[in-house]
Structure formats: C-alpha cells, structure tokens
Amino acid sequence: MTVGIISREDYRKRTIAIAKGEYKPRKNEPKVWFESITSMAQVLNSDNQELLRTIIHNKPCSISDLEKMTSRKKSNLSRTLKTLEKYGIVDLKREGGKVVPEVKATDFNVQFGLHYSHPVNGENTLAV
C-alpha cells in the first residue's frame, strides 16, 4: 500500500484542484493520506503492527476472539481496528452477529514531498 504525507491545507488544495478538474491524480499516487509522519507513526506503531501480525497468523473469528489472543480490551481493539479500517489497512467483515477483522495491507511505501498541494501553470502537476 502506498501512503502519502501531506498537510491538511495542502490536502484541501489538492482536493479542490481535483474537483475543479485542474488536476488529475496519477495512477501511482497514494490513495491513503496522513497529515504528518507523526500521525502515520501513531497508526502504524509497533503495537498495531503486532496486532496485524496476530490477525494474520491466528485468523480470529471475532473481535472477542482477538481480545483473548491479545489481552487488549475490546473497546480499545474496536477503536484501533476502526482507525486501521479507515486507512484501508484492515477490513471489518460482519458475519452473523460478529465482526471479523481481516488484514488488507502488510507492506507500506511512503511518499511525501512539496509537490502535492496545487497545480502549477495549469499543468497536471502539483507544486507548492
């Protein structure tokens, strides 16, 4: 999964440029964006990486199952998994009355730079 780092203001400018048709994202550009390296590190911290490994290797049948495997409280797991789902890292499938976590992304490429904010001179490129 390719993720990008871009400030909130630059993300807003980029989104507006896309909506106006002034910029068309390239196929290799990130689909998932973080506001900072710090925010990315919070989501992909070592505890969450270990959680992802546990899901991959043990294939829990529910969040309750995962709670037993990790000794993390269900409320904490639910909040963490919803955040990981928001970024496309996990999928939370509803099966019967249970929520089953499934890891969707295991490898991450990070892109960041100053060229993601707004189009320059009407070109289909972005620059600050």
Q: What is the pTM of this model?
A: 0.80
CB 99 within 8 A of CB 62: yes
Give the DSSP letter string of 21-54.
Answer: TS----TTS-SEEESSHHHHHHHT-HHHHHHHHH
Residue 67: inside a domain, yes or no? yes
Residue 34: inside a domain, yes or no? yes
Q: Tell me which amino acid residue 106 is.
A: T
Question: CATH code at 70?
Answer: 1.10.10.10
Residue 126: inside a domain, yes or no? no
User: Running along the chain, 128 residues long, what does each successive block of 10 average in pLDDT?
Assistant: 90 89 87 92 96 97 94 93 96 93 94 61 49
CA dist 100 and 112 (Å) reads: 33
Domain extent at residue 20: 2-116
Residue 58: inside a domain, yes or no? yes
Quote the number of domains for the chain.
Answer: 1
